[in-house]
C-alpha cells in the first residue's frame, strides 16, 4: 500500500486546472495523492461542481476566509495545498504554516510576467505586447511574495504570430498547465510521504 499525502485544492472559478488533477488522479497517475478536499472562495465557482462530480468533498468559504480555511485544513490533516486558479493572496501566517507545502501554477515562465497584478488573461496580454516567441507555465512553491517561491517545474509553449490572448491562454493551459501541475503535485506528494 502506497502512502498518500492529503491534498486540498483551492479554486476561485471554473476549475480547469482542478479537472486536470482529477483526471490524472482518476487514471491512477497520482499514486501518492489523496485528493481530499476542494475549497473555493466563491460559492458559485464551477470548480465545486467538478469536485462533486468526482465525489471529492468541497467547501465554499465566503467569510473570514483564512480563519475558516485553516480550520478546514487542520480538521482534515491536509499535507499539501494546491492553488489552481485561486485568486486570493494568502497571508504570511498561512504560507508559513504550510511552508514548502503550497504549490501554484502560473501561466508564464517565471520570472517573466509574474508578481502582483499578473494573473489570468492579463499575463497573456502582457506576453503578446512584449512580442515574446515562447511563453508557458510554471509550477512553484508559494511564499509571501506573489509568484516568488522556488520553481518546481516549467514547460515552454510556442507563441504564434497571430495569437490572441485567449488563444495563447488556451494553448498554455492545454500544453503546459494541465500537464505539469499534476506532475508537480505527484512529485511533491511522493517526496513528502517518503521523507
Q: Which residues contact 159 (CB under 8 A, 6 or more apart)?
A: 127, 128, 132, 133, 134, 135, 168
Which residue is associated with the grid cell 504570511? 92
Distance CA 35, CA 94 (A): 20
Respond yes or no: is residue 32 known to be catalytic: no
The helix or strand, by DSSP H or E, that contains position 21, with its residue range, turns out to be helix 16-26
- Active-site residue, from 32, 106, 124, 140: 106
Q: Which residues pair with 138 in a beta bridge?
A: 106, 154
Distance CA 101, CA 78 (A): 10
Q: Are 104 and 140 in contact (CB under 8 A)?
A: yes
Please tell me the distance from the alpha carbon of residue 9 to that of residue 15, in angstroms, as a whole number: 10
From 94, 83, 95, 136, select the one nearest 114 (Cα to Cα): 136
Catalogue the active-site residues.
106
Amino acid at each position: 500500500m502506497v502512502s498518500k499525502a492529503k491534498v486540498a485544492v483551492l479554486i476561485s472559478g471554473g476549475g480547469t486546472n482542478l479537472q486536470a488533477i482529477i483526471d490524472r488522479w482518476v487514471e491512477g497517475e497520482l499514486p501518492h495523492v489523496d485528493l481530499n478536499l476542494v475549497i473555493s472562495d466563491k460559492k458559485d465557482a464551477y470548480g465545486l461542481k467538478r469536485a462533486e462530480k468526482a465525489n471529492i468533498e468541497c467547501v465554499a468559504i465566503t467569510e473570514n476566509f483564512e480563519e475558516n480555511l485553516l480550520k478546514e485544513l487542520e480538521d482534515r490533516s491536509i499535507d499539501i495545498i494546491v492553488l489552481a486558479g485561486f485568486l486570493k493572496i494568502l497571508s504570511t501566517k498561512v504560507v508559513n504554516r504550510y511552508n514548502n507545502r503550497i504549490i501554484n501554477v502560473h501561466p508564464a515562465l517565471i520570472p517573466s510576467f509574474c508578481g502582483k497584478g499578473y494573473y489570468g488573461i492579463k499575463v497573456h496580454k502582457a506576453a503578446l505586447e512584449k512580442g515574446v516567441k515562447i511563453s508557458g507555465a510554471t509550477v512553484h512553491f508559494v511564499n509571501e511574495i506573489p509568484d516568488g517561491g522556488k520553481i518546481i517545474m516549467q514547460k515552454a509553449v510556442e507563441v504564434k504570430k497571430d495569437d490572441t490572448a485567449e488563444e495563447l491562454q488556451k494553448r498554455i493551459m492545454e500544453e503546459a498547465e494541465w500537464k505539469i501541475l499534476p506532475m508537480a503535485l505527484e512529485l511533491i506528494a511522493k517526496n513528502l510521504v517518503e521523507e
